Amino acid sequence: MKKITFIVVILLAANFAFGQFSIGPKIGYNTSKLTTDLDSITSDLHNNFHFGAFVRIGKKIYIQPEVNYLTMGGVFEDKLSLNPFKQEIKMKSIEIPLIIGWRMINFGAGNIRILLGPSASIVIDKTITSTEGDNYIQPIKEADIDDLVWGFNLGAGVDILMFTLDLRYQIGLNEVITKVQNFSLNSRNNMFSISLGWKIL
């Protein structure tokens, strides 16, 4: 009971201090791509759904920490070398963004926002699926994938009544995969996402 009372007091204090407080679940769709600077290797997109929860504090200017579960990754393919390969990489992750937003336009039932902020994704599971074939190799191993993926988000959003819709593009800040066997992959994760949230408070 004391813990519940403490949480309620904190929420009320935040609402008083910042003028507006919202919390709720969210669900969405994301498409990610592991890029590389090697001309001989092409990369394709990986698509998946994500879900999580958010807290929004503030009026005109607000901060929005989140916790999301999502899958990132991509497909690497090299068909030009003597040892070709095709590998799909999936990284199940807990993403923790810290979004700063600005409500630019207010209308009767909602508002239009712009947003930006960093995020850290903790990789909790890695899966590599390799294509089998003549002379095909499997150069990328699970140990080659970094356990922490940093990104920076840019985007915009719309609030209508108790619903909030966000469009974001995340720029990869660190190399997820660097060296693989005898060559440098220098791969970063870039991601586009669209999400729908429900402000239950």
Q: How far apart are CA 34 and CA 121, in angstroms?
A: 14
Q: How far apart are CA 127 and CA 94, in angstroms?
A: 15
pLDDT of residue 61: 95
Residue 32: phi, psi to the nearest 5?
A: -125, 160
Mean pLDDT of the chain: 89
Residue 68: exposure state from Cβ atoms within 10 A (0-12, 13-18, ≥19)? buried
pLDDT digits (tens, 9 = 90+) for 4-16: 555 545 545 544 4
Q: Tell me which residue of 1, 29, 8, 51 sits closest to 201, measured CA to CA.
A: 8
Residue 48 token pair: 């998946």
pLDDT digits (tens, 9 = 90+) for 151-184: 999 999 999 999 999 999 999 999 999 888 767 7
Residue 43 token pair: 């990369």
Indicate the CATH number for domain 22-198: 2.40.160.20
Q: Which residue has the higher pLDDT, 78 or 11?
A: 78
pLDDT of residue 2: 58
pLDDT of residue 1: 58
pTM (2 decimals)? 0.86
Q: Which residue has the higher pLDDT, 178 or 58?
A: 58
Q: Which residue has the higher pLDDT, 62 or 79?
A: 62
Q: Which residue has the higher pLDDT, 38 or 53?
A: 53
Beta-bridged to residue 97, according to DSSP, are: 119
Which sequence spans correspond to the domains of the chain? 22-198
Measured CA distances, 29 to 2, 166, 172 (Å): 38, 11, 18
Least confident of 15-19, 56-60, 76-80: 15-19
pLDDT digits (tens, 9 = 90+) for 88-110: 999 999 999 999 999 999 998 99
Residue 91 token pair: 């990284």
Which single residue is written with the structure tokens 């408070």? 201
Beta-bridged to residue 85, according to DSSP, are: 78
